[in-house]
Amino acid sequence: MKTDASLLPSAGGPAPLAGEGKYLTFALGEEEYGVGILKVREIIGMMPIRPIPQTPEFIKGVLNLRGKVIPVIDLRVRFCLEAKPYDERTCIIVVEARGGPGHRAMGVVVDSVNEVTNIRQEQVEPTPSFGVSLDTAYILGIAKSGDAVRILLDIDQVLGADELAQLGQAA
């Protein structure tokens, strides 16, 4: 008897659909964002960041995290939002981002961290089209829950190839 392989379950179970899964949600200003929980290593409070000369403004510098030097970006500055002084809720999300050969740890400064939430596929809408001049490759989709809207980020796409190279040189 011949079996169609496409009808058999895969060894790891069904693959999650784009946008579906657990997300760490955080705020930048009045907007709420989410990043896939599997990309998050840890969340730390603000700590001294050593600036690196001749890097873009959104690259804040590097920090020493338990003996490992990691580059840090300010997501508010990266997204061209109005600057805001850091406060007691400001924190750094340490993520594992794909860039160059392999993966690398990167710190991402955000205004505050909210919660880990499970987002179902039916809650996610595709990224709206903003025209050809605006690159939205870093947005996985828009999640809706009641009146709340969360922008789901692909942390691997937040920085372009040139910016990732600069970040690699900073660390």
pLDDT tens for each residue of 5-45: 333 333 333 334 466 899 999 999 999 999 999 999 999 99
pLDDT score for 53: 92
Do the beta carbons of residue 69 and residue 61 sit within 8 Å?
A: no
C-alpha distances (whole Å) from 161 to each of 53, 99, 103 are: 20, 8, 13
Mean pLDDT over 136-140 rounds to 78
What CATH class is the domain 18-170? mainly beta
Parallel, antiparallel or unpaired: strands 148-153 and 31-36? parallel
Alpha helix ranges (H) inside the chain: 75-78, 161-170
User: What is the pLDDT at residue 109?
Assistant: 97
Containing 143, the helix (H) or strand (E) segment is strand 139-145
pLDDT averaged over the chain? 81
Query: Is the alpha carbon torsion for 20, 149, 24, 105 positive or negative?
Result: positive
pTM of the model: 0.80
Q: How confident is the model at residue 133 (pLDDT cuts 50, 70, 90)?
A: low
Q: What is the per-residue pLDDT for 140?
A: 87
